[in-house]
Amino acid sequence: MITELYKLSIQITKALLFYIPHVPLTWSEDYRQFCISYTKWKGALYVASIIDLIVAIAGGNLYVLITRNYFHFGPSLNADQLLIVGFGSGSVIFTQGVFLVLCRRIHVAIIGINSVFSLAEEMTRRYRPNEITENGMFLTRDGKDTIGTVACFIALFAAISPLTLSMFFLWHNLDPLDIALEDALPDAKYWSWSTILLVFSIRFICVQIGMAQGLQIILTMASMAGGGIWNLMHCMQILLNDIESEEEFLDFYIRFGLAFKLLRVVLDDLVLIVLTAAHWGFALGIWLCISGYNKISLIMYVALVFGIGSGFIAMLVAFRKFKMGIEMADEILEKRRLEARMKFVDMKTKRMKIISRRLNALTVVLQLRFGSFYPLTTEYFMEFINGLMAQVVDFLVVFK
């Protein structure tokens, strides 16, 4: 169950990234759920674009770093080029890590998130019919679709950024393919305009498709995660405030737990990858903001500060939402158990005794782990921030 603006953000991504093969995982308006849309021809094109992403971005960065700063086959990279090489390689590794985890268990993930969507729609139609349209679109109570507006803005900004960023990198010769092609064609690109145009076209196509494909994967995963988290929170709000019957609560709570259990198969691995990448990425970014203010160009420094600041704010918002979810999950069971005990004391019936025992047997559904070994609690967030600041201090001490 999504809003009209949220659906529009998915359509914007597809429309503006029309020139690359789309991710086989798409939102179906007919079934109102995520589906796998796959053919052999589309699959071959998509695999080719993924190979371009790995070779053109990560492979090119690795080649430049080895040949220039290790074997010294040419002038060493300056601070701006090193920053782009590190950011590009890290982005590809992170994107492909998330992509491989999802591909490994994609069917389970789709069943889980579609189960959450279907359950949220059913519960909304039953207990909040004024918040849903006939075609399954969610309506906010105040008429302000903040999540959909933010999703449209992010989709629009991210979908046009590959074109602007690739032109910026090519114009300032900051892309790794420029150095790789110079080594492959020594002085050849200065022979004629046709050679210059050919070299520039190869660089533009490879960098553009690679960046666009990486951003498309990130946007697709973000749309799934954003919609899934919102529907989970919506289900929990209905469980907490709108269901009066104990039997109906038990039915919906157990179904909610089964749907989330399917999601946890993928979520635990994703949390491990995302939080690990966030820890090292933010630590390196903050260290560069502190120690590299007089070593990199102004435009790169501003972009770095803006990126680190935006990412840090997004991380804090996500932590806050997850903390609210954990507290709400605890409150749901505690409230129902207390109400069942009070009714059993007043009524002294066998039905209320059975319901009270069934409620006591339930466990908190919303539980995540860092991988499969470290449970995430509300205290973990402060531990994460403290560890991040300690890592920044270590970088400042070691790399003066």
Q: For 190-216, write each residue's pLDDT tens digit.
A: 567 777 777 778 778 877 777 787 788
**Residue 208: per-residue pLDDT:** 79
**Residue 52: per-residue pLDDT:** 66
Tell me which of 195, 215, 235 is where a domain ends. 215
Q: Between residues 331 and 102, which one has the greater pLDDT?
A: 331
Tell me which of 215, 246, 262 is where a domain ends. 215
What sections of 57-145 are H helices per DSSP? 60-69, 79-104, 106-127
395 shares a domain with 294: yes
Note whether residue 230 is domain-resident: no
283 shares a domain with 186: no
With beta carbons less than 8 A apart as the criterion, state whether 246 and 217 touch.
no
User: Which amino acid is it at 231?
Assistant: N
174 shares a domain with 65: yes
Q: Is 25 helix (H, G, I), strand (E, B) or coil?
A: strand
Q: What mean pLDDT, rounded, does the chain reach?
A: 77
292 shares a domain with 184: no
Note whether residue 398 is domain-resident: yes
Rounded Cα distance, 75 and 78, in Å: 9
Q: Is the pLDDT of residue 45 over 70?
A: no
206 shares a domain with 325: no
| pLDDT bucket at 318, cuts 50 / 70 / 90 | confident
pLDDT digits (tens, 9 = 90+) for 164-189: 777 777 776 667 777 777 777 666 55
Element (H, E) at 393: helix 378-398
168 shares a domain with 315: no
Identify the residue whose tokens are 């914007």. 12
**Residue 352: per-residue pLDDT:** 77
Rounded Cα distance, 10 and 93, in Å: 24
**Residue 237 token pair:** 């709000």
CA distances from 322 to 234, 372, 381 (A): 13, 18, 10
Tell me which of 198, 215, 232 is where a domain ends. 215
**Residue 40: per-residue pLDDT:** 67
275 shares a domain with 200: no
Note whether residue 247 is domain-resident: no
What sections of 25-78 are H helices per DSSP? 40-52, 60-69
Note whether residue 79 is domain-resident: yes
Note whether residue 233 is domain-resident: no
With beta carbons less than 8 A apart as the criterion, state whether 3 and 137 touch.
yes
Rounded Cα distance, 76 and 293, in Å: 20
With b for 16 or more beta-carbon neighbours within 10 A and e for fewer, the 364-394 pattern comes to ebbbbeeeeeeebeeebbeebeeebeebbee
Residues in Cβ contact with 258 at an 8 Å cutoff, skipping those fewer than 6 apart: 115
Rounded Cα distance, 8 and 26, in Å: 13
289 shares a domain with 207: no
Rounded Cα distance, 359 and 374, in Å: 27
Rounded Cα distance, 14 and 220, in Å: 10
185 shares a domain with 43: yes
| pLDDT bucket at 53, cuts 50 / 70 / 90 | low
Q: Looking at residue 189, what DSSP letter applies? A: G
pLDDT digits (tens, 9 = 90+) for 141-167: 666 677 777 778 888 887 788 887 777
Note whether residue 259 is domain-resident: no
| pLDDT bucket at 290, cuts 50 / 70 / 90 | confident
Note whether residue 133 is domain-resident: yes
Mean pLDDT of 59-87: 73
| pLDDT bucket at 287, cuts 50 / 70 / 90 | confident
Note whether residue 14 is domain-resident: yes
149 shares a domain with 49: yes
32 shares a domain with 171: yes
How many domains does one find in the chain?
2
392 shares a domain with 314: yes
Mean pLDDT of 222-249: 83
* Domain encompassing residue 161: 1-106+121-215
